[in-house]
């Protein structure tokens, strides 16, 4: 049974739209991971375009291996999340290719999870109404993957790797955003964190950071952030590191996520009807969390080489290498 559905087939002509289904998975003991993204980009005056994005991260290499292809052959057949060319993303399986002059990438993966879907936005009407302009959920916030990935002459066996599957869509990206994900913490194998943070531009003013996410620990989900917690949310971000404090109702999570500059992949992300962002992503980052709860001692969680950190930004003087693929 599908845990979410594609929205782009219902978007009327004359409306801008973007949408993505993506996965992140990491080796259980090595700094090795994959990030694969199926996207739809629709300018208000154009037909939808589909793109396949692929990155293999290896902390022991000089940098990630990446590829991206774009085609007008994009659909959402019954029983699938999305199909781009001959590449499909469906319940329990994701398979495809992204062959370019830069890299011949391929993947054939199965996945499953015992965790229910995570809806980041705290109220149902936020998914139905025009605001916020970006909607997001994680159909599988904690998943296990198996299969094979090819990156040029390299073939990687994926056997029980931990990760997640996400889905977002909307008419406009946030002015600035951060995505954080970690699973498989040392001494807390069941714990995971999945959080998205954004700053929205209202006229000439940008809102404070608004976080929406969840920490799962000891069999319980703890919602973090929300608009009402914006004033107490703290974020200090750079392209390679983020320090954060995410308040919740029962717990507060503070921490950091970081990696070496060489472990990041950079992309151009286009808005449907606006200027582009530069986006950097590392899916083999280190994450350290402190979980604070009333009447309980603080809990420390550590994860090496298995966290995701993504930063979307307007500035272009960040010094990070961008992949040579346009968007939009």
pLDDT in tens, the chain (328 residues): 899 999 999 999 899 999 999 999 999 999 999 999 999 999 988 899 999 999 999 999 999 999 999 999 999 999 999 999 999 999 999 999 999 999 999 999 999 999 999 999 999 999 999 889 999 999 999 999 999 999 999 999 999 999 999 999 999 999 999 999 999 999 999 999 999 999 998 888 899 999 999 999 999 999 999 999 999 999 999 999 999 999 999 999 999 999 999 999 999 999 887 789 999 999 999 999 999 998 899 999 999 999 999 999 999 999 999 999 999 7
Q: How far apart are the first and last CA of the chain?
A: 31
User: Contact at 8 Å (CB) between 197 and 209?
Assistant: yes
User: Cβ(4)–Cβ(167) under 8 Å?
Assistant: yes
3-state secondary structure 27-77: CCCCCEEEEEEEEEEECCCCCCEEEEEEEEEECCCCCCEEEEEEECCEECC
The residues, ordered by sequence, that sit 6+ positions from 128 with a Cβ below 8 Å of its Cβ are none
- C-alpha 21/C-alpha 140 separation (Å) is 11
CB-CB neighbours of 93 under 10 Å: 13
Q: What is the DSSP secondary structure assignment for residue 228, as one 8-state letter? A: G
Predicted confidence at residue 203, as pLDDT, reads 83
Q: Which residues contact 129 (CB under 8 A, 6 or more apart)?
A: none
- The answer to whether the beta carbons of residues 197 and 45 sit under 8 Å apart is no
Q: Please tell me whether residue 315 adopts helix, strand or coil conformation.
A: coil
* Of 74, 85, 77, the residue nearest 20 (C-alpha): 74
| In contact, 35 and 23? CB cutoff 8 Å | yes
pTM: 0.97
- CA–CA separation, 289 and 248 (whole Å): 14
Are 49 and 60 in contact by the 8 Å Cβ rule? The answer is no
The encoded tokens of residue 276 equal 């582009």
H-only helix segments in the chain: 125-128
C-alpha span between 58 and 43 (Å, rounded): 35
pLDDT at residue 295, as a whole number: 86
Q: Which CATH class is domain 10-313?
A: mainly beta
Take residue 269 and report the two structure tokens written for it: 């992300």
What share of residues in the chain are helix, strand, coil (percent, to 5)? 5, 65, 30
Q: Are 293 and 250 in contact (CB under 8 A)?
A: yes
Instruction: Delimit the domains of the chain by residue range.
Output: 10-313
Return the pLDDT at 34: 98
Count of residues in the chain? 328
Helix, strand, or coil (residue 232): helix
Place of tokens 């296990």: 144
CB 255 within 8 A of CB 287: yes
């Amino acid at each position: 049974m599908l845990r979410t559905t594609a929205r782009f087939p219902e978007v009327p002509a004359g409306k801008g739209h973007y949408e993505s289904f993506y996965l992140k998975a990491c080796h259980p003991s090595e700094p090795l991971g994959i990030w694969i993204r199926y996207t739809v980009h629709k300018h208000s005056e154009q037909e939808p375009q589909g793109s396949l994005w692929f990155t293999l991260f290896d902390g022991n290499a000089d940098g990630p291996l990446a590829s991206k292809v774009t085609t007008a052959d994009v659909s959402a057949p019954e029983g699938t999340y999305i199909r781009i060319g001959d590449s499909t993303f469906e319940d329990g399986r994701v398979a495809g290719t992204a062959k370019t002059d830069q890299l011949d990438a391929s993947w054939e993966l199965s996945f499953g999870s015992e965790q229910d879907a995570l809806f980041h936005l705290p109220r149902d009407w936020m998914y139905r109404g025009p605001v916020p302009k970006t909607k997001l959920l994680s159909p599988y916030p904690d998943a296990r993957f198996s299969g094979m990935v090819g990156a040029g002459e390299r073939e990687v066996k994926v056997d029980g790797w931990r990760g997640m599957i996400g889905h977002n869509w909307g008419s406009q990206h946030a002015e600035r955003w951060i995505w954080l994900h970690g699973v498989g913490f040392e001494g807390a194998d069941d714990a995971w964190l999945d959080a998205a943070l954004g700053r929205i531009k209202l006229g000439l003013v940008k809102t404070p950071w608004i976080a929406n996410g969840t920490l799962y620990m000891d069999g319980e989900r703890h919602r973090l952030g929300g608009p009402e917690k914006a004033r107490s949310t703290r974020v200090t971000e750079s392209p390679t590191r983020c320090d954060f404090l995410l308040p919740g109702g029962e717990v507060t999570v503070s921490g950091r996520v970081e990696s070496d500059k060489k472990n990041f992949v950079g992309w151009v992300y286009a808005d449907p009807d606006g200027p582009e962002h530069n986006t950097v992503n590392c899916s083999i980052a280190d994450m350290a969390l402190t979980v604070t709860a009333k009447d309980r001692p603080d809990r420390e969680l550590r994860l090496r080489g298995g966290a995701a950190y993504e930063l979307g930004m307007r500035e272009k003087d960040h010094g990070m290498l961008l992949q040579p693929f346009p968007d939009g």
